[in-house]
Structure 1
């Protein structure tokens, strides 16, 4: 039980720790939690494209059924946001997804999604952790039933309806999109949705490969070289490139002029686009660009900053009736959809935005209006059990200046965010999914960002 720990987005571990007996304990804990909370409705179970995921999903299904719950098991590996949508769409008690998202194939994971379709808050995951136990089946006559269902169709219908309500049309006729599934669960889901909307698709890595081609299904620029080349090549007839991570809850966008479009810039373009015909605040994580704030101010709106983790974004979106919520890692959702990041929906919305006006043109206009913004991050290795000690030690050595600029304010909502007098910032926080400390920086140019990142590393490395 001590091995099972729910971090930023569920419990993830390498397969020597992520074992069937422990997965069954999680299933029992969820069943006990749901029963204690008075939930009697069906539970959704989904899974990603990893070799072990279907088997672990079946283990969860057996435990839930043995506790009296009916289970809707995904008919194949599907994106995590499809399960979140199914929970709300079908009025389910909640759901479980077997996925390690962008982690390497040696990992797997499990996350619980409550009845509202938003990521589980710590009060919920703590309650589940407190109930970890060996399976305790009811008499067989009281067992629930399991059946396989298609989560893709209803989600696609909802995505098309929502994007049409935002843009006036979800039609993408005449648009050519290059899509890279990275061998993950977005294949035959994201590309199928874009094609249904009328786009012409050029597919890459849209075959299931549990080893993800020998890498990690992380849609960072370094892993998307082929997609970038296809979109930016001279004479290319591709209008836009889109990629998803392993469980397709995140999106990466590639444009003809910029190549890999920084997620912060996409977020700013998305919010600016939505504000053309709607109103409302934005929610962003502490590691996400201040450019969102500048866009909001220009439209008379506000921004709410939350700790890293989409659970906090989802919570604030409900509390503030936000128009959009997102993180610099490429996770976004919009008002009218489930409060879980959804790389499938965002692929359709990004394509519709680009069809209305090239994303490069919108981003150029935003940067001309609000100033250039550059952001980057690095990682410093740190064992999970050392993170609290290092952060406590860091509190005692926060400097008065960083890279020659005075520290104007210190935000401790998630680690330490040092806001500097020139408008730049440095953030040091613990990763919730990997044994590292993250060092983020934002400034007006690359050279300044590098200086801030180096200062951050110099600050934290002696403490590890």
Structure 2
């Protein structure tokens, strides 16, 4: 097959290339980017390589699989491993890359963004460790994209199809992932808990994304929960017209069902299966608290960590310091990294990290090199089973959180997302705020002397493993009591800009541990709006999403 080279500026971000579907449908657009991936594959390159391919089932996944196979064979790929019908959650791809010792994987997903012909699509390349490609590779892909007959495979049938020296193996990605899950968690303990506490109710919402079949296999087929314990668990190309993002705004059906049906344990995952949300009839678990609780109980409750121990803990910079307190208590190192799972991957490969998380509902461990939504849900279920093993009365999520706060104090945390903001306005606001951080903010006080700015900067990270430097990772305004305001511009959407403002305040007074989050943080929120002048720059009075 001859390559068609067409100049383009196709630059992948931290989560790959994300655009509207109709952009990918333009002549040669998808083909050019896929070819750029093969051009940029780390040595020895695509010849005789094994590549894993699949996605979250959104619109255009099946067509893109065919394009990747065609171009891959032309570049000398020896074997493709493809999820049946193209279905492959992001964490499951990472697992198969590692298990099969593949040379990499191509994921077809726009994560938690909407699907359908008028919405989003994405292509992401993972390297041989199962994690997202580092900047050196994504930069090479971008460079290749600027310089830049058919095979038709039936991907609905499990089995191997050979084409001379090349082959395509279609696998049951759900069963592979389930096998991994059984090796990590104490399924017998969970089953015993469910049997001894028949009053316990669970509801898992797949949000019409890729994790529905995974949830059914684990919660219904394996654990024997009632059929009504899962909802929206059939993957749909447009996610049923919904936004497959597991947060309080977009997972509104789950939130409503949990409250109206008084569910003890509600959970959701996103479109490609790498994010999660945990909620109960009387508590929402902030993702920054969620990873800290999992880390605190890991060696006690989860067989994988009983065996391996905890090598270290980590969080993305905007994520609250709750997990830092757990690390200190357990006597292990904690790392603060930029947003992007590849930074965790380097630490994991070096044997320095076991459990990590991002405030954007991403939680995971060194079992793979991606965040893992189902893993986090089952981890919580394992913890609930553990704390209830000797208790005749159900100890619920709110009880677990109250115990955690009494032990460590509480890092009140919230994130405000202002989505699809005019890009020019967002950039002006951000640029002017950055200038303030380096000239005039330090020493300013608010509400008398209650909040005094101790430092302000643009977060910069030097990787302790490969010593690469990542600059411009987010503006940090830190007060003398440890409270923080963080401001970032996000590039995960396919149109406009997203301004994210993060708020964090530590509290250890017993009578103040179970307050409403927004009430506790309101003084800090008012200060942030005053400093950033967000409404003046953008015209936005309210955020699109509050986490």
TM-score above 0.5, yes or no: yes
| In 2, Cα distance between equivalents of 1:304 and 1:359 | 27
| In 2, Cα distance between equivalents of 1:395 and 1:135 | 36
| In 1, Cα distance between equivalents of 2:479 and 2:526 | 15
Aligned residue pairs, count: 455
Q: Which residue in the other structure is 1:245 paired with?
A: 270
- Residue by residue over 1:187-217, the C-alpha shift from the partner in whole angstroms, topping out at 9 and shown as x without a partner, is 1112312334414041211233322232210
Query: Is the Cα contact below 8 Å between 2:314 and 2:323 reproduced in 1?
Result: no
Aligned partner of 1:423 among 467, 482, 502: 482
> CA offset at residue 75 of structure 1?
0.9
Aligned partner of 2:373 among 332, 336, 343: 343
2:14 equivalent to 1:14: no
Query: Is the Cα contact below 8 Å between 1:285 and 1:306 reproduced in 2?
Result: yes
Equivalent residue of 1:247, what SS?
coil
Query: Is the Cα contact below 8 Å between 1:180 and 1:204 reproduced in 2?
Result: yes
Q: Which residue in the other structure is 1:162 paired with?
A: 184
Q: Which residue in the other structure is 1:369 paired with?
A: 407
2:207 equivalent to 1:182: yes
Aligned partner of 1:396 among 435, 445, 450: 435
Query: Is the Cα contact below 8 Å between 2:425 and 2:537 reproduced in 1?
Result: no
| In 1, Cα distance between equivalents of 2:148 and 2:65 | 15
2:472 equivalent to 1:410: no
Unaligned stretches of 5+ residues in structure 1: none
| In 2, Cα distance between equivalents of 1:313 and 1:455 | 32
> CA offset at residue 326 of structure 1?
0.7
* CA distance 1:108–1:385, shift in 2 (3 Å): farther
> CA offset at residue 171 of structure 1?
3.8
| In 2, Cα distance between equivalents of 1:154 and 1:96 | 18
Query: Is the Cα contact below 8 Å between 1:251 and 1:347 reproduced in 2?
Result: yes
Equivalent residue of 1:220, what SS?
coil
2:523 equivalent to 1:451: yes
> CA offset at residue 143 of structure 1?
7.4
| In 2, Cα distance between equivalents of 1:60 and 1:193 | 31
Q: Which residue in the other structure is 1:151 paired with?
A: 173
Q: Which residue in the other structure is 1:300 paired with?
A: 331
Q: Which residue in the other structure is 1:72 paired with?
A: 81
Q: Which residue in the other structure is 1:125 paired with?
A: 138
Aligned partner of 2:292 among 250, 268, 278: 268
| In 1, Cα distance between equivalents of 2:165 and 2:146 | 19
What root-mean-square deviation, in Å, do the aligned CA atoms of Structure 1 and Structure 2 show? 2.7
| In 2, Cα distance between equivalents of 1:45 and 1:293 | 36
Matches within 5 A, 1:197-276: 197-201=222-226, 202-233=229-260, 236=262, 238-258=263-283, 260-276=284-300
| In 1, Cα distance between equivalents of 2:422 and 2:342 | 24
* CA distance 1:60–1:135, shift in 2 (3 Å): farther
| In 2, Cα distance between equivalents of 1:38 and 1:196 | 41
Q: Which residue in the other structure is 2:545 paired with?
A: none
Aligned partner of 1:46 among 44, 54, 57: 54
* CA distance 1:144–1:130, shift in 2 (3 Å): farther
> CA offset at residue 362 of structure 1?
2.2
Query: Is the Cα contact below 8 Å between 2:38 and 2:45 reproduced in 1?
Result: no
> CA offset at residue 459 of structure 1?
3.4
| In 2, Cα distance between equivalents of 1:114 and 1:407 | 41
| In 2, Cα distance between equivalents of 1:22 and 1:391 | 31
Aligned partner of 1:26 among 33, 39, 49: 33
> CA offset at residue 161 of structure 1?
0.4
| In 2, Cα distance between equivalents of 1:343 and 1:215 | 18
Q: Which residue in the other structure is 1:89 paired with?
A: 99
| In 2, Cα distance between equivalents of 1:126 and 1:35 | 12
| In 1, Cα distance between equivalents of 2:417 and 2:280 | 27
| In 2, Cα distance between equivalents of 1:311 and 1:388 | 26
2:368 equivalent to 1:355: no
- Residue by residue over 1:79-116, the C-alpha shift from the partner in whole angstroms, topping out at 9 and shown as x without a partner, is 11111111111111101011111112201101001010
> CA offset at residue 256 of structure 1?
3.4
Matches within 5 A, 1:433-448: 433-434=492-493, 435-443=497-505, 444=507, 446-448=518-520
> CA offset at residue 267 of structure 1?
1.4
> CA offset at residue 271 of structure 1?
0.9
Aligned partner of 2:67 among 59, 64, 75: 59
> CA offset at residue 291 of structure 1?
1.3
Q: Which residue in the other structure is 1:107 paired with?
A: 120
Unaligned stretches of 5+ residues in structure 2: 1-6, 151-162, 301-305, 388-395, 460-472, 508-516, 539-547
Per the normalisation by structure 2, the TM-score is 0.77
